[in-house]
Chains A and B, each alone.
Chain A
Amino acid sequence: MRAYLPDYHLRAPKTLSDALELLAREPGMWRAFAGGTDLMVLLEFGALKHKNFLSIRHLPELRGIEVTPEHVTLGALTSYTEIQRDADVRREFPLLCAAARETGGIAIQNRGTLGGNVVNASPAADSPPALLVYDAELELVSASGTRRVAYRDFHTGYKQMDMRPDELLRSIRLPRTTGDLHTYYRKVGTRKAQAISKICFAAGARLASDGRIRDARIGLGSVAPTVVRCARTEDVLRDQTPDEATIKAACASLVQEIVPIDDMRSTAEYRARVAANLLADFLSTLKIDGGKSDSA
């Protein structure tokens, strides 16, 4: 059933400090509303439980892509379209571009934001596995200051986050240390556009001159209550050559490390099998290309 509109309040504070002041004055009363591509769907179904929202789309402090020698920092309101159009992001963070290109369709990509994808905290979101591979760091702002959280520590349970009700996500910061990673991104859904993923796989690694794997990074969506970095499987791969035995051991580790479920989109069995298949595919491209080309 459609929501009863007079129940809902949406305000557009003039400045970031106005927004932060409102959030601080009445903690939990207001929630941020950015592109609306998730929240408006809930509204239409009459399932948007929270009633009071602050529209933050127009706040310039939350926009823009900033490049310094060490980092590329994306404002929380950076849209999926802006991600794809940015030359620096395209060159250095191809997994994030691939994720942005496969999120929704063009209309969703124009409206949906990277920050919204993070704080909506869906385990099936498309960009978080890429952010995990890139060791993203979040900048949270509030009236009492700013703090940084490593993205891999941010999601603490299903839809649970290390974020207070008086805080806003200001930006997502990516260290510029991964430009030479061999990367691999695959979203598996019922169709290429619009589908919510059955499984989402982002990975990166380097192959050293001795043919051994260095710095393997595996991020997965839709296989656990949160998006996950698969550290145990990364350990299995460390300093190994990507041969059949390594691939077999890594796949065996991965299916132990993830905890997929049966739901409306897929089954636990399918997700585990496909996760292992994608890992095997990634590792075999690593073997063939020697970490030089880029399949993302």
Chain B
Amino acid sequence: MSDEEMSREADVRCTVNGTTHTLRVRPMARLLDVLREDLHLTGTKEGCGEGECGACSVLIDGELVNSCLVPVLQVEGAQVQTIEGVTAGGAELHAVQQAFIECGGAQCGICTPGMVLAAVSLLAHTPQPTDADIRHGLAGNLCRCTGYMKIFDAVVRACERAGVKA
């Protein structure tokens, strides 16, 4: 066994919000913890820690995942996008974020980063979602303030905004 295997640590190379990192990590560490504690990207929240609530949602290679269920070894070579990365570095908010503000799609805010990423992911795959599509697309994200209607309104508004832009 190599030293690396004995120490049970591994170097994982990945890109987070456009920046490439080489992370020295426990391979089974949750991506959620590495993002928050090693990279100080605390916008990603922990809710249930068991893949039920979606608070820790991030995008890996463009697909929505629960970062609490991803061992960091599995992001080797991947592109990770967190809530901090949705604005593409500019000062202007993403259309989905702006719509959440305008529609009041946040109360305590813990679910909001995950909701925004789930909405971004939904609109990437389904630019003109029906109400049923929106409910299905956000069904893995729980809001314990139960502010769902305004969240759904925000997704609709983000679509309208995107439609205007196009």
Decide yes or no whether B27 CB sits under 8 A from chain A: yes
Given contacts A8-B28, A10-B73, contact A111 B65 (CB under 8 A): yes
A12 contacts B30, C-beta separation under 8 Å: no
Measured CB to CB, the nearest residue on chain B to A111 is B65
B121 contacts A106, C-beta separation under 8 Å: yes
Query: Considering the chains assembled together, what is the distance between the CA atoms of A36 and B30 in angstroms?
Result: 11
Given contacts A81-B63, A105-B140, A192-B139, contact A111 B70 (CB under 8 A): yes
Query: Could you say which of B37-45, B47-55, B92-100, B152-160 contacts chain A?
Result: B47-55
Which of chain A's residues have a CB closer than 8 A to the CB of B136? 106, 193
Q: Mark B119-133, 1 if CB is under 8 A from A, else 0.
A: 001100000000000
Query: Considering the chains assembled together, what is the distance between the CA atoms of A292 and B125 in angstroms?
Result: 31
A36 CB contact (under 8 Å) in B63, B69, B139, B141:
B69
A44 contacts B68, C-beta separation under 8 Å: yes
Decide yes or no whether B21 CB sits under 8 A from chain A: no
B57 contacts A12, C-beta separation under 8 Å: no
Decide yes or no whether A194 CB sits under 8 A from chain B: yes
A36 contacts B70, C-beta separation under 8 Å: yes
Query: Considering the chains assembled together, what is the distance between the CA atoms of A107 and B52 in angstroms?
Result: 10
Measured CB to CB, the nearest residue on chain B to A10 is B27
Decide yes or no whether B76 CB sits under 8 A from chain A: yes
Minimum CB–CB distance from B21 to chain A (whole Å) comes to: 18
Decide yes or no whether A55 CB sits under 8 A from chain B: yes
Number of interface residues of B (CB under 8 A): 32
Measured CB to CB, the nearest residue on chain B to A40 is B69
Decide yes or no whether A108 CB sits under 8 A from chain B: yes
A194 contacts B64, C-beta separation under 8 Å: no
Measured CB to CB, the nearest residue on chain B to A109 is B140
A193 contacts B140, C-beta separation under 8 Å: yes
Decide yes or no whether A9 CB sits under 8 A from chain B: yes
The secondary-structure label for the interface of chain A is mixed
Given contacts A8-B28, A9-B8, A11-B27, contact A104 B140 (CB under 8 A): yes
Given contacts A12-B73, A81-B63, A110-B65, contact A6 B51 (CB under 8 A): no
Q: Mark B65-91, 1 if CB is under 8 A from A, else 0.
A: 110111101101000000000000000
Number of interface residues of A (CB under 8 A): 32
Decide yes or no whether B3 CB sits under 8 A from chain A: no
Within 8 A of A (CB), among B109-123: 118, 121-122
Q: Could you pull out 29 A-B pairs where Cβ atoms are within 8 angstroms?
A: A5-B28, A6-B26, A8-B27, A9-B5, A10-B27, A33-B71, A36-B70, A40-B30, A40-B69, A44-B50, A44-B68, A58-B74, A58-B76, A104-B51, A104-B140, A105-B140, A106-B64, A106-B121, A106-B136, A106-B137, A106-B139, A106-B140, A107-B51, A107-B66, A108-B51, A108-B140, A111-B65, A193-B139, A194-B139
Measured CB to CB, the nearest residue on chain B to A6 is B8
Chain B residues proximal to chain A, CB less than 8 Å = 5, 8, 26-30, 49-52, 54, 57, 63-66, 68-71, 73-74, 76, 118, 121-122, 136-137, 139-141
Chain A residues proximal to chain B, CB less than 8 Å = 3, 5-6, 8-12, 33, 35-37, 40-41, 43-45, 53, 55, 57-58, 81, 104-108, 110-111, 192-194
Which of chain A's residues have a CB closer than 8 A to the CB of B139? 105-106, 192-194
Query: Considering the chains assembled together, what is the distance between the CA atoms of A8 and B73 in angstroms?
Result: 12
Measured CB to CB, the nearest residue on chain B to A57 is B74
A-B pairs, 5 with minimum CB distance: A105-B140, A193-B139, A10-B27, A8-B28, A40-B69
Query: Considering the chains assembled together, what is the distance between the CA atoms of A111 and B69 in angstroms?
Result: 9
Query: Considering the chains assembled together, what is the distance between the CA atoms of A45 and B64 in angstroms?
Result: 23
B54 CB contact (under 8 Å) in A6, A11, A107:
A107
Given contacts A40-B30, A106-B121, contact A11 B68 (CB under 8 A): no
A11 contacts B5, C-beta separation under 8 Å: yes
Given contacts A106-B118, A110-B63, contact A40 B74 (CB under 8 A): no
